[in-house]
């Protein structure tokens, strides 16, 4: 099975070869979706883990025992209301119509449940009001 | 029916009746043109959209010893300095350079203009030409809008009267001044807010001329001249509105009074930086004709659908589409339903009209008589690849 997880590394764990250990010790394949890792900073890694269900659970338990934060909450698109100018340019590239303009007010409406986090809206936004939570 | 002097007198006596353009359109539907014209003195229009042919004039004030600036960077964005010694022109689409001269395409003049208007400090680096009267060779400092002598926007082309709808009929994504256009008609973008836009409501520019006082970026500005690429001879519908890009205006206004809410730096991916600007124009209800023109609705206005996959000056078009269809969010092209998004903020365009209405009601803004008309008969010359052509018709 597959599980998508967000890992948060304390500074001292950044040196640890986590994906190697996942593969070697638990036979879990880790596909890196996003990463933000630098020396002496808290690191973040979004992984899609695939493997046997028991081994996945064991791998996650092991990571937690190493003080690595494991969260199952998915990435989300964030819209900064202070920056957004409600131009609506993002609505044209959103494949699921999670982003739309209210037909009366023409303010931007974000229907989070429809969002598949394809991130096409992020570079489209001319005022950089859209980001992900990583 | 009314003169601008009558209206200003009412503004001063705080008994003027001001409606936003949408209030007027609704009233005309309800009560007709004649009745509405008797009730209202001023109608306010507004838009908020990217206007890349914009920029700021800065006069720094002289240094001691003085400098004749020949090269200058504001937060890394080059500003033109080939005129007066400490006069600068900072263009909205000018791309920033890093200290080693590399282009930083995601940052440009529009952002620096926004930062200055927001009161933020901006780093200035200047190189001078040493002369007997200007002995200084270089100058480096941090400026804010309050520490420079003068700071005003002077925008060669703002307020397009109508524009186009961009699509991409090709097979690779395109990055344009209308934002990303996805291949095989993946999306469409229009950039004019339609029936609420200032110049759709005075299609022949009978009310707006040189010297017309306006709302510019949250401060008071003026119509300075016709805009670049002003093309009043564009084909028009019987309601006098053009079927594509037509009249434009050059605008000027004191940036020290402006508000960064209405002046926003922006960046179009793989195209470059620009500036989004809020502009509002008051239309005096001098007679019924004014109201009849202002009553125009989105279904009465059209724009051409232009295929950006042909990289030529004259691109093929897929026909005309009404603003009512555009604002519905979907248009049909070649039997295909295509999602269409605006680039102008219709929400903030309305807010500009509301804010200008409040200024006039509060007596803070008087209308001005134009001092000269904007030309109504002007041909449009282009540079062609094979020699120049002079229009003789």
pLDDT in tens, B88-102: 999 999 999 987 878
Q: Which residues contact A17 (CB under 8 A, 6 or more apart)?
A: none
**Residues B256 and B151 sit within 8 Å (Cβ to Cβ):** yes
- Given CB atoms, is A101 within the 8 Å cutoff of chain B? yes
**Residues comprising chain B, all counted:** 393
Say whether both A48 and A66 belong to one domain: yes
Task: Specify whether B361 is located in the same domain as B265.
Answer: yes
Distances in Å between the Cα of B13 and the Cα atoms of B8, B16, B46 are 9, 8, 25
Q: Within a 13 Å sphere around the CA of B384, how many CA atoms are in the beta-carbon half?
A: 9
Interface test with A, best of B187, B324, B353 (most A CBs within 10 A): B187
Q: Between chains, do A89 and B179 touch, taking CB under 8 Å as contact?
A: yes
Give yes or no: residues A96 and A41 share one domain.
Answer: no
Contact indicator for B263, B277 with CB cutoff of 8 Å: yes
Predicted confidence (pLDDT) at residue A33 exceeds the cutoff of 80:
no
Residues B131 and B26 in one domain: no
Residue B73 included in any domain: yes
Q: B132 with B20, same domain?
A: no
Q: What domain range includes position B70?
A: 61-148
What pLDDT, on the 0 to 100 scale, is given for residue B388? 46
CATH of the domain at A14: 3.30.70.260
Separation of alpha carbons B92 and B83, rounded Å: 19
The token pair at B121 is 């400090």
Give me the pLDDT at residue A15, please: 76
Domain boundary among A21, A45, A72: A72
Question: Tokens 């809410």 correspond to what residue?
Answer: B261
Burial class (CB in 10 A: 0-12, 13-18, 19+), A13: middle
Give the residue from B225, B231, B280 showing the smallest Cα distance to B249.
Answer: B225
- How far is the first Cα of chain A from the last one, in angstroms, to the nearest whole number? 24
Residue B256 pLDDT > 70: yes
Q: If you average pLDDT over residues A13-19, what whole number do you get?
A: 80
Model ipTM? 0.92
Instruction: Evaluate the omega torsion of the peptide bond into residue B65 and state whether it is cis, within 30 degrees of 0.
Output: yes
Structural domain count of chain A: 2
User: Which of A85, A86, A97, A108 is best to mutate for the B interface (most B CBs within 10 A)?
Assistant: A85
* pLDDT confidence band for B116 (50 / 70 / 90): very high
Q: Looking at the structure, tell me whether residues B46 and B84 fall in a common domain.
A: no
Question: Does residue B382 lie in a domain region?
Answer: no
Quote the number of domains for chain B: 2
Contact B298, B322 (CB under 8 A): yes
pLDDT at B157 over 70: yes
Tell me what pLDDT residue B214 has: 98
For chain B, give the mean pLDDT: 95
Of A87, A106, A128, the CB nearest to B343: A87
For A12, list phi and psi in degrees, rounded to 5: -75, -15
Q: pLDDT tens for residues B264-321? A: 999 999 999 999 999 999 999 999 999 999 999 999 999 999 999 988 878 888 999 9
Q: Are residues B30 and B105 located together in one domain of the fold?
A: no
Segment holding B107, helix H or strand E: strand B103-108
Confidence of residue B380 (pLDDT cuts 50, 70, 90): confident
Tokens of A26: 């638990």
Q: Which residue range(s) make up the domain with A119?
A: 77-132
- What pLDDT does B389 receive? 46
Q: Write out pLDDT tens, residues B305-347.
A: 999 998 887 888 899 999 999 999 999 998 999 999 999 999 9
d(CA B130, CA B378): 44
Chain position carrying tokens 């493997």: A51
**Helix B346-361 to helix B21-31 angle, to the nearest 10 degrees?**
90
Backbone CA torsion sign across B110, B116, B122, B125: positive
Tell me: do B122 and B245 sit in the same domain.
no
Q: Give the Cα separation of B90 and B110 in Å (integer).
A: 9
Does pLDDT of B126 surpass 90? yes
Task: State which of B148, B170, B194 marks the end of a domain.
Answer: B148
* pLDDT tier, A73 (very low <50, low <70, confident <90, very high otherwise): low
| Confidence at residue B386, expressed as pLDDT on a 0 to 100 scale | 53
Residues 108-127 on A with a CB inside 8 Å of B are 123-124, 126-127
Compute how many other C-beta atoms are within 10 angstroms of the C-beta atom of residue B61: 11
Least confident span in A8-12, B25-29, B41-45, B359-363: A8-12
């Amino acid at each position: 099975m597959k599980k998508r997880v967000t890992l948060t590394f304390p500074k001292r764990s950044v040196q640890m070869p986590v994906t190697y250990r996942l593969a070697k010790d638990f036979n879990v394949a880790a596909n890196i979706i996003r990463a933000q890792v630098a020396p002496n900073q808290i690191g973040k890694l979004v992984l899609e883990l695939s493997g046997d269900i028991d081994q996945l659970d064991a791998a996650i338990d092991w990571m937690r025992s190493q003080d690595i934060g494991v969260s199952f909450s998915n990435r989300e698109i964030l819209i900064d209301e202070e920056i957004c100018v409600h131009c609506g340019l993002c609505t044209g590239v959103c494949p699921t119509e999670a982003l739309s303009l209210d037909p009366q007010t023409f303010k931007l409406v974000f229907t989070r449940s429809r969002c598949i986090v394809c991130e096409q809206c992020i570079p489209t936004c001319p005022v950089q009001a859209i980001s992900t939570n990583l | 029916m009314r003169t601008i002097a009558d209206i200003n007198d009412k503004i001063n006596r705080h008994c003027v009746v001001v409606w936003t353009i949408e209030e007027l359109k609704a009233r005309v539907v309800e009560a007709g043109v004649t009745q509405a014209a008797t009730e209202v003195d001023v109608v306010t229009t507004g838009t908020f959209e990217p206007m890349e042919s914009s920029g700021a004039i800065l006069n720094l004030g002289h240094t001691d010893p003085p400098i004749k600036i020949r090269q200058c960077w504001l937060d890394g964005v080059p500003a033109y300095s080939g005129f007066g010694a400490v006069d600068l022109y900072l263009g909205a689409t000018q791309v920033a350079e890093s200290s080693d001269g590399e282009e930083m395409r995601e940052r440009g003049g529009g952002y620096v203009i926004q930062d200055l208007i927001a009161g933020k400090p901006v780093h200035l680096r200047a190189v001078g030409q040493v002369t007997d009267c200007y002995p200084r060779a270089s100058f480096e400092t941090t400026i804010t809008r309050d520490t420079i002598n003068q700071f005003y926007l002077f925008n060669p082309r703002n307020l397009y009267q109508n524009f186009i709808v961009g699509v991409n009929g090709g097979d690779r994504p395109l990055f344009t001044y209308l934002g990303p256009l996805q291949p095989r008609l993946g999306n469409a973008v229009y950039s004019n807010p339609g029936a609420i836009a200032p110049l759709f409501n005075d299609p022949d520019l009978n009310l707006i001329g040189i010297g017309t006082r306006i709302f510019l970026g949250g401060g008071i500005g003026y119509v300075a001249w016709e805009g670049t690429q002003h093309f009043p001879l564009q084909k028009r519908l019987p309601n006098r509105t053009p079927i594509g890009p037509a009249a434009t205006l050059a605008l000027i206004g004191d940036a020290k009074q402006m508000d960064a809410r209405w002046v926003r730096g922006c960046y179009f991916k793989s195209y470059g930086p620009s500036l989004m600007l809020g502009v509002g124009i008051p239309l005096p209800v001098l007679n019924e004709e004014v109201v009849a023109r202002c009553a125009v609705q989105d279904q009465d206005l059209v724009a051409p659908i232009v295929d950006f996959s042909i990289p030529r000056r004259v691109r093929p078009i897929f026909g005309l589409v009404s603003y009512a269809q555009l604002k519905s969010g979907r248009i049909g092209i070649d039997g295909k339903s295509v999602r269409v998004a605006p680039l102008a903020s219709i929400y903030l365009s309305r807010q500009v009209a509301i804010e200008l209405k409040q200024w006039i009601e509060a007596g803070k803004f008087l209308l001005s008589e134009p001092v000269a008309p904007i030309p109504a008969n002007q041909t449009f010359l282009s540079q062609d690849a094979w020699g120049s052509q002079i229009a003789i018709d």
